[in-house]
Chains A and B, each alone.
Chain A
Amino acid sequence: MVRFENVAMRYGTGREVLRDVNFALEPGSFTFLTGPSGAGKTTLMKLVLMAEQPSRGVISIFGSDLAALKRSELPPLRRRIGVVFQEFRLLDHLSAFDNVALPLRLAGRRISDFRKDVEELLSWVGLGERLDDKPPTLSGGEQQRVAIARAVVAKPEILLADEPTGNVDPEIGERLIRLFVELNRFGTTVMIATHDRALIESTRARELRLVDGKVIEMRGLR
């Protein structure tokens, strides 16, 4: 599903943030990406999301070598990936409903087709009564649930989450990991970047650790 071969990444003329990165995410796998702050976790997630181009190496996603794809061929691949950003990155001027519906709109679906799904999903994350509330009026935990609902609403094949428990209390963090495990059971490939050891220890999932820009397999495939 995702394959990195000898991938390196540097920004501009700076030092290499990642070097000789080799790993693969198999379909239906659950992986933690760990490492100290500044180790390159976010950069690696950006590469998986096709937000950046590697300085060298080969990245294949959904069986396609990204270097061989035209720029216009990337958006359909990105739409197969759901992301929970570290800072949530909700659109403040849109309601909770419209934020969650965004991936479906980007996929070209009509509101009449997805309205019920979005309402149900928001109810499921406990925000059924706050459909028309805008993010600034929601608490941190509520915003995070909107962000998660947005990431999963289009049933992505890959779910990426960057430090998803960074801004929430342990109880919400625990609920969140249960949600990710549940999604993984239904076949979604999950990759979570975190340095939260408690979160990592709560599952028996695979752990890839970034050390000095290199990926080390800490715990094998489940």
Chain B
Amino acid sequence: MSVVENISFDSAGRILPREQGAISLDLVIAIMTFLAALALGGVMIAERSAQSWQAGLTGRLTVQVLPQGATPPEAEVRAAVQVLQSVSGVVAVSALSDADNLALVEPWLGRDAVVADLPFPRLIDVTLAPGATPDLEALATRLKEVAPHAVLDDHGRWIERLRSTADVVVLGALVILALIAIGTAASVAFATRAGLAAHREIVQLLHLMGAQDRFIARAFERHYFMAALAASAVGSALAAATFVAASGLDQFGLPAVSFLPPLALSLGELCWLLLVPATAACIAWATARLSVISALHQYY
């Protein structure tokens, strides 16, 4: 390869000199895409958790037999279990023991909580056959007859609240993503204008030498596309590293809170974060193009 090929535009890839202040834009894009990737990861965690909770609760019923002072409700529990076992579509009925109850409250009250004196209800876990739709109203009435302190819960209200909470989280994250996209576009537009001003002489010269607007725009597009791609790759990689680190918090003496969804992303979910630099680069490309083309129209 000759010296000339080494110094050609094709290998140098730039008709514009490296810009002063470009590092500031890189930093802004890296930070914005870091936040965008965190928001996207948050969307995936919220969505996954909502689905997981929903899947865990769908097809199940819980009967609570409320305590009556110091009297253990064992008789009512046995009667309720008998009624539940007779219902068509019920495949398993399991009355939870005191140990099971303690395990349930452990995440909130701690392993060594003193709970013996607390008035815990007795819980009966009921598993339904897939697709089974027992008449819950009739079942509740029958339960009341044999166990006056029994309360039937089909988790419908809980699932609905979970779903709407997850939807709010997802919507919030999407709004954040949209704001970050607008912020990125505005930053690139500002930087493009500044770049055009800084390279006014070059742009004017190219224009006078017969360069089409799209030739000049391509130089800027390429510059900002590559800058945004590199900076957003760094931002997204940092966000991915954050999620990976979050999955191993217990190794740093920070055990995960069991009733909160795990903050880690799976490998497949991490791959979705690649969308962030791709989108940021495309936004930068389109913004630079529009800014340059509109600015060039001031020239005859």
Interface, chain A (partner B; CB < 8 A): 49-53, 71-72, 74-81, 83, 89, 91-95, 97-98, 101-103, 105-107, 111, 115, 118-119, 131-132
Contact = CB atoms under 8 A, between A and B. Distances in A.
B3 A132 contact: yes
Contact of A95 (B7, B14, B209, B211): B7
A106 B209 contact: yes
A75 B3 contact: no
Given A50-B300, A111-B5, A78 B10 contact: no
B9 A93 contact: no
B5 A131 contact: no
Given A71-B300, A106-B209, A111-B5, 5 more contacts: A52-B300, A72-B212, A75-B210, A97-B4, A131-B3
Interface in B196-242: 201-202, 205-206, 208-213, 215
Contacts of A72: 212-213
B3 A89 contact: no
A107 B16 CA distance: 18
Given A52-B300, A89-B201, A111 B209 contact: no
A91 B300 contact: no
B199 to A, nearest CB: 10
B12 A49 contact: no
A42 B6 CA distance: 37
A76 B210 contact: yes
Interface in B11-28: 12, 14-18
A131 to B, nearest CB: 6
Contact of A74 (B6, B14, B17, B300): B300
B210 A131 contact: no
A56 to B, nearest CB: 15
